[in-house]
Amino acid sequence: MSIKCYLLSPRGFCSGVHRVVNMTEQVLKLYNTVYITEDIIHNKMFMSDATRKGVIKVSSIDDVPDGAAFMFSAHGASPKAIAKAEEKELIVIDGTCPIVKSIQNEVKAEAESGKKIIIIGNRSHAEIVALIGYTDCENVFVVYDEADIDLLPDFTDDEVVYFTQTTLDCSCVDVMIKKLKEKIPHLESNSQNNICSATKERQEVVRRVASLTDLVIVVGSSHSSNAKRLCEIALSAGAKNAVLIDSQNDLDEVVLDGVKTMALTSSASTPENVVQDLTEHLKSKFGIIVEDFEIPKTDG
């Protein structure tokens, strides 16, 4: 019997990634070479292609030749990094997603007004590293799980406001916010969370289909926060198995034995041609029947 595969939508590039990918193409046309210190987006396939085309990754802005073209990633840059690039008189291309930029501005304003800042997110993720730079770095507290909340100091006499990383799992964040509010009843927020609509939609379609499947394949890279979340959500929403692969080259690692129904999606940083190549491969090599499964899209 043939395997049925739901090809989920929305999937793939969000508006912020579309924007920075287009900027990369334009800047390479103009300057042939552009330097970066952080991956432009968290996708190995895109980055290896970009490297072939002239994107050069260095470990520090100090290593960029004076006056060269230099690009900040979609995850944003700290004011310190921006100042350093200006000091070196680099041609700066700011690829920061406008959604991330607006969160940075809010964090900056709240920090300047003297509030303590709690960020729900991964301290080592590029978005959070940059975001911390918009505070004085002393009155900001990053929490990633419930255990981190237990370790927070007493905020009784402080005004405290929280923000969240844009690519977390909405339901996990809800649990974290509930626990934070139990510990800090006067906790403020500018919105329920800062998880962007593109992230929410890609999660929601996986949530809806997962329990119908024996397997969910997420096409994306292992260092992509939103890709990892999609896999976790597939499993927690009832998929029997979920795997994260970069491309069809990793398909050998995927066990299709016993699979009757599967779903295929991709992270917000995965180029669509990688998904299309994989879909064609699934059809031609395994005779898999591919069917679209779509929910309404609000992200550009």
C-beta of 169: minimal distance to ligand SF4 in Å? 13
Does residue 88 contact residue 66 with C-beta atoms inside 8 Å?
yes
Q: Which is nearer to ligand SF4, 199 or 266 (CB)?
A: 199
Residue 133 CA neighbour count, 13 Å, CB half = 17
Is residue 128 near ligand SF4 by the rule CB under 6 A?
Answer: no
C-beta of 198: minimal distance to ligand SF4 in Å? 4
Is residue 143 near ligand SF4 by the rule CB under 6 A?
Answer: no
Site track 75-104 with ligand SF4 (rule: CB under 6 A), x = hit: ----------------------x-xx----
Q: Which is nearer to ligand SF4, 44 or 116 (CB)?
A: 44
Contacting range for ligand SF4; rule: CB under 6 A; set: 4-12, 191-199, 216-224, 236-244: 191-199
Please give the Cα distance from 15 to 36 (Å, whole number).
21
Please give the Cα distance from 78 to 63 (Å, whole number).
18
- Among 77, 168, 180, 196, interactor with ligand SF4 by CB under 6 A: 196
Q: Which is nearer to ligand SF4, 153 or 296 (CB)?
A: 296
Please give the Cα distance from 19 to 67 (Å, whole number).
24
DSSP H helices in the chain: 15-31, 44-53, 79-87, 98-112, 126-132, 146-150, 170-183, 197-210, 225-236, 272-286
C-beta of 300: minimal distance to ligand SF4 in Å? 8
Beta-strand relationship, 215-219 and 188-189: unpaired
Is residue 199 near ligand SF4 by the rule CB under 6 A?
Answer: yes
Is residue 218 near ligand SF4 by the rule CB under 6 A?
Answer: no
> Which residue in 127, 138, 253, 280 is the catalytic one?
127
Long-range pairs of 283-292 with CB within 8 A, sequence gap ≥ 24: 286/3, 286/256, 287/2, 287/3, 288/2, 288/3, 288/4, 288/5, 288/262, 289/2, 289/3, 289/4, 289/5, 290/5, 290/7, 290/264, 291/4, 291/5, 291/6, 291/7, 292/6, 292/7, 292/9
- Torsion sign over Cα 221, 223, 224, 230: positive
Q: Which is nearer to ligand SF4, 166 or 213 (CB)?
A: 166
Position closest to ligand SF4 via CB: 16
CA torsion 291-295-298-300 (nearest 10°) is -10
Q: Which is nearer to ligand SF4, 78 or 213 (CB)?
A: 78
Contacting range for ligand SF4; rule: CB under 6 A; set: 10-18, 118-126, 146-154, 203-211: 10-18
Site track 57-76 with ligand SF4 (rule: CB under 6 A), x = hit: -----------------x--
Contacting range for ligand SF4; rule: CB under 6 A; set: 14-22, 137-145, 151-159, 245-253: 14-22
Is 110 annotated as catalytic? no
Beta-strand relationship, 116-120 and 160-164: parallel
Binding site for ligand SF4 (CB under 6 A): 14-17, 74, 97, 99-100, 166-167, 196, 198-199, 268
- Active-site annotation, residues: 127
